[in-house]
Structure 1
Amino acid sequence: MTLSNFLKSLARRWHLLLGALTLTTSLCLLAYSAVPPTYERAASVILLPGTQTIPTGGNPYLYLGGLGQASEILVAAMNASSVRQDILLDYPSTQVSMARDPASSGPLIAVSASGPSDAAVTAVLDRTLIAISETLSALQVQAEVQATAQIDALQLTEEPTSVLVLTDQFQVVALVAAGGIVLSLLGVGFIDGLLLSRQRGLPASFLE
């Protein structure tokens, strides 16, 4: 079937095409409502040396050397299944990510949470920030580090509100729309050819 014949078949069966496209639109709306939106929120935590290692009146940010390994150990401890389970308790559909910030050479830990609601994301992020300080303290107490030499965790940044991300919804809608349009065009063309072949008493292959 040539392109001109195909376009003519669509024009002849415009009512079928309109119905198919209407059905595609309905499926797109259904897909959009079926995929929940995602909320994301991020924060960052920096490790600071203990007061024992800083001269009187010194700037703690000038003494961050050597804390990179401590941040990696802390991230590993935070990613333990038991810690993550406590953080995500009551929020099974929410995800949390903790990693040393690759864009920084200092002991900076990037924290992010994503989930189906702003309330869930906020709660999980708050729990994570609290757990970071508690886990860091527990690790140092276990290692019998003197109080004045213990590393501190300072929350450096936190996004004021969660960000609504609709990427997943748009991807699903685009996939459904593309598939629906293609099937609509091919389906109408096939039905038109089949009906014409029956009217003329010829096989559909003769009309191609």
Structure 2
Amino acid sequence: MIRRIWWVLLGGGIVTLGLVNLTLHLVPLTYDVTASVVLLPPITSVEANGNPFLDLGGLDVVAGVLATAITDSESTENVAPAGSGASYTVQKDASVSGSVLQVAVTDTSPDAAFSTLDAVLTLAKDRLEELQVSVSAPAEDHVQLMVITNNVIAEPNTSSLIRTLIIVLAAGLAATVALAVAVYYPLRRRDSLSDETIDAPVGAERVPADLDESAEPAGPPASTETGDTATRVPVRR
């Protein structure tokens, strides 16, 4: 019985390893790349020979509007269509005080990640210009967008792959243990029944007490009397 259980465990382990290997081929490794952009005030709001970085106050609202404008469903579908494996986010950089946005892109290869990042940055510049033109803002009062960090190395992202591997491995091991338990108990019951059959005497028959001459009479013998002579007749019960 133990040997059969070990075969079940071995088979389940082999199947689980096969599923893990299949997962490694089916679930693609993704790559992340990020960039940071800052919104600069209009030229007219900066003093002559002034530094625009010293006058970034009040642009947080513009940064929030821009982030919302380039992450709507239409923009997302144009830059990272469904099924392409690409995705991106644009949000305010909480580590920096001011109108700084962080763009994060995930794609299926380093080249694809950089291509998607370029598309998002281009969209951000074009959309910022469109928003200001739509409100008839003078060209000299337009807020400008400037890329301040642009990573040149795409970092591999294994989180999705690791989560999938953990799920597959846990499911395979659980199924293997459940199958082993399902096989163990029927085999154990069958072996127990076999042991009881072997211990019982073969061909033994029970002889009724009334046919067993060696059995002691259950009660005192009955007697019959004829005249002065009494004859004891054993009574079978």
TM band (smaller chain): 0.7 to 0.9
The structure-2 alpha-carbon separation of the partners of 1:75 and 1:44, relative to structure 1 and needing over 3 Å to count, comes to: same
Q: Confirm or deny that 1:114 pairs with 2:106.
A: yes
Q: Using the alignment, how far apart are the partners of 1:49 and 1:33 within structure 2? A: 49
Q: Using the alignment, how far apart are the partners of 1:84 and 1:27 within structure 2? A: 34
The match for 2:166 is: 174
The structure-2 alpha-carbon separation of the partners of 1:171 and 1:90, relative to structure 1 and needing over 3 Å to count, comes to: closer
Alignment partner for residue 72 of structure 1, among 49, 61, 64?
Answer: 64
Alignment partner for residue 30 of structure 2, among 28, 31, 38?
Answer: 38
Q: Deviations over 1:63-82 (max 9, x none)?
A: 00111111111112212333
The structure-2 alpha-carbon separation of the partners of 1:136 and 1:167, relative to structure 1 and needing over 3 Å to count, comes to: same
Q: Confirm or deny that 1:198 pairs with 2:198.
A: no
- What residue identity is the alignment partner of 2:133? V
Q: Where in structure 2 are the equivalents of 1:117-196 lying within 5 Å?
A: 117-196=109-188
Output the aligned Cα RMSD.
Answer: 2.2
SS in 2 for 1:40: strand
> Conserved in 1, the CA contact under 8 Å of 2:8 and 2:179?
no
TM-score normalised per structure 2: 0.74
Which deviates further from its counterpart, 180-189 or 153-162? 180-189
> Conserved in 2, the CA contact under 8 Å of 1:91 and 1:120?
no
Name the count of aligned residue pairs: 194
Q: Using the alignment, how far apart are the partners of 1:84 and 1:28 within structure 2? A: 33
Q: Structure 1 or 2: larger helix share?
A: 1
- What residue identity is the alignment partner of 2:101? I
How high is the sequence identity, in percent, across the aligned residues? 25
- What residue identity is the alignment partner of 1:98? V
The match for 1:59 is: 51
Structure 2, unaligned runs of 5 or more: 195-237
In the TM superposition, structure 1's runs of 4+ consecutive aligned residues that sit over 4 Å from their partners are 9-12
Q: Deviations over 1:49-69 (max 9, x none)?
A: 111111122111110011111
Name the structure, 1 or 2, with higher relative contact order (CA <8 Å, separation 6+): 1
- Based on CA coordinates, which of the two structures has the bigger radius of gyration? 2
Q: Deviations over 1:133-187 (max 9, x none)?
A: 1111122222222222211100011121211111111111112212222332332
SS in 1 for 2:190: helix
SS in 2 for 1:201: helix
Alignment partner for residue 16 of structure 1, among 8, 14, 39?
Answer: 8
